[in-house]
Amino acid sequence: MKDLYYVLMYNKLGNAKQCKTLIKHGNIEINGHVVRNPYYQVHYKDHLTYQNQELQAQPFFYYMLNKPKGYLCANHDQKEKCVVELIDHKDCFCLGRLDRDTTGLLILTNDKNLKKLLLPQNHIPKTYLVETKSKLVKEYIIECQKGIIIDGNKRCLPAYLEIQDDHHALITITEGKYHQIKKMFLSLGNEVISLKRISFGKIQLDEHLKEGEARLFNQQEIELLCRSLHENVSTSFFKMEHRRSKVIERIMTN
């Protein structure tokens, strides 16, 4: 749910101050009743009107894209293809970026309030499927958990690595340094061949989406995404990783 004044802004009724004034002057009706609280929480099923004109209760778009290789996470570029070309609404932005050659889950939206999720202190967990050139070894698990040093002196936050087979693993990170995962494996003496993001916070990539395909979020996914603004989604991740660390220590001693 969104603040009423914020919904009005996306219905193009003015800036924040102008929309709050409209509300306080009794110009907005919700479900047949005048509402004067700018912070009234609008439900997507609410019926909004302004001077007998029907408004959109949810004027926001949330896209899930299975990003293909060769696309930039940008709206415009004179030379390169951009991910916004793959969706219907061109005023959306990328909620977090993927490298040009990285595939997988990319969220695009016009809801600027969600940019808060990208603040460094939020530590949103992001999980990737990684393919490596050389064989993966169990020592990588502990090194990731300790925090791998990249770029000479920058220690990454702890990451969780789950080895699938000799050359494939799932890795979860809670920050987004430039080319971070590729640099992490270089520090381990290995090399990333391919990288695919499969989750962002609690949002999972739809397995039915082919590369290059996109779809709008369902209501449950919208609520999960927006709820992340009001809770620390990384807390449960670190609690889970702490429990797993005990198991990993036993693995390393076998």
Domain-by-domain residue ranges, the chain?
2-55, 62-253
Band (231; pLDDT cuts 50, 70, 90): low
Which of 197, 196, 189, 132 lies closest to 165, judged by CA?
Answer: 132
At the top level of CATH, which class does the domain 2-55 belong to?
A: alpha beta
Within this chain, domains 2-55 and 62-253 share the same CATH topology: no
Catalytic residue among 3, 91, 99, 166: 99
| pLDDT more than 90, % of the chain | 75
- pLDDT tens-digit map of 23-51: 999 999 999 999 999 999 999 999 999 99
What is the rounded distance in angstroms from the CA atom of residue 21 to the CA atom of residue 241?
A: 48
CATH code for residues 62-253: 3.30.2350.10
Contacts of 111 (CB under 8 A, 6+ apart): 60, 61, 62, 226
**Residue 236 scores a pLDDT above 50:** no
pTM of the model: 0.86
**pLDDT over threshold 60, residue 203:** yes
Q: In the structure encoding, which two tokens stand for residue 187, read together? A: 């520090």
Catalytic residue check, 151: no
At residue 110, does pLDDT exceed 80?
yes
How far is Cα 164 from Cα 95, in angstroms, rounded to an integer? 28
pLDDT at residue 228, rounded to an integer: 78
Altogether, the residues listed in the chain come to a count of 254
What share of the chain has pLDDT > 70, as a percent? 90
For residue 240, the model assigns a pLDDT of 47
